[in-house]
Amino acid sequence: MGQCRVGARVKVAKVEWPTLGLLVGTYGLFALGTTWAAEAWLPFGMACVMLSAVMHSSLCHEALHGHPTRVKWLNEALVFVQLTLCVPYGRFRDLHLIHHQDENLTDPYDDPESNYRDPAIWAVTPRWGKVLLSFNNTLLGRILVGPAVGQFFFMRDDWRAILAGDRAALSAWLVHIPAVAIVIWWVVAHGSLPLWALFVAVYAALGVLKIRTFLEHRAHEATQGRTVIVEDRGPLALLFLNNNYHVVHHERPGVPWYRLPALFRAEREAFLGKNDGYYYRSYAHVFAKYFLRAKDPVPHPLWPKP
């Protein structure tokens, strides 16, 4: 898992100062959003909280891949408080590393981040469920209802896992309690942001994150053709820490976020050849194409496997 498969291995610093700087800035923005900014104008405070929660989620993704230091416990301590409230870091880490087993990408069962459903399950899904999941397969739907839909399935599956004796899942949720409690304590004791505004801002942040995951992977016969490149260098790319160069990340998950664009440019044709041209020139292109239109069917179009 996570082996360098295109080009030469990139050397990574023992301490990645750009990532540490972003961590400090992210917590500072959250503190600003819950205090002075919220007191000055509540929507401004909520916007700061939303942006900091999006960035914190992206930094959690960096941490589970071994950034910004080479010390695992230190990386995890740096992102311990969970600004997005909803997903325990331990579960995000464990499930995301399973997701990096590229041969299982988009598998309705073996890829925990797949949005596809088993056609047999889809066939017996009630009509209201089909309408909801079909709307969720448009970009607008993914932003508006995607966080709720994703959280429901995530918590349902984790509850089943815990009942089946999965101690890792139970432990991650228990550790998540103080990670969220710190955030709630800060907002109640020190902030000017009402709790309802915190929850709205966090939901909005999860909606923004769904823009990134909307088309990261597609159903494709070849494993290497399943992962996208969105060649965007704008605000969303920064919030997502260049994870829009997704095939580069999957090929070299140990490379820090600030190296991905240059790495892609250096080997552009090789990466686009490897992923069979699964490419969008920007997020504006993605919005124009899929805002009101589904990119994929909900049932996996290549399922069951031969």
| Tens-place pLDDT, residues 227-237 | 999 999 999 99
E runs forming strands in the chain: 229-230, 279-280
Tell me the per-residue pLDDT of 3-59, one tens digit each, with 9 for 90 and over.
Answer: 344 554 556 678 999 999 999 999 999 999 999 999 999 999 999 999 999 999 999
Q: Cα separation of 265 and 129, whole Å?
A: 42
Q: Does a structural domain hold residue 237? A: no
Q: Does a structural domain hold residue 35? A: yes
Q: Does a structural domain hold residue 272? A: no
Q: Cα separation of 54 and 238, whole Å?
A: 10
Tell me the per-residue pLDDT of 58-114, one tens digit each, with 9 for 90 and over.
Answer: 999 999 999 999 999 999 999 999 999 999 999 999 999 999 999 999 999 999 999
Q: How many domains does the chain have?
A: 1
Domain that holds residue 91: 17-213
pLDDT at 4: 40
Q: Does a structural domain hold residue 42? A: yes
State the average pLDDT over residues 122-132.
Answer: 97
Q: Indicate if the pLDDT at residue 1 is higher than 70.
A: no
Tell me the per-residue pLDDT of 195-208, one tens digit each, with 9 for 90 and over.
Answer: 999 999 999 999 99
State the average pLDDT over residues 251-259.
Answer: 96
Tell me the per-residue pLDDT of 263-303, one tens digit each, with 9 for 90 and over.
Answer: 999 999 999 999 999 999 999 999 999 999 999 999 999 99
The C-alpha angle 42, 150, 170, rounded to 5 degrees, equals 100
Q: Does a structural domain hold residue 299? A: no
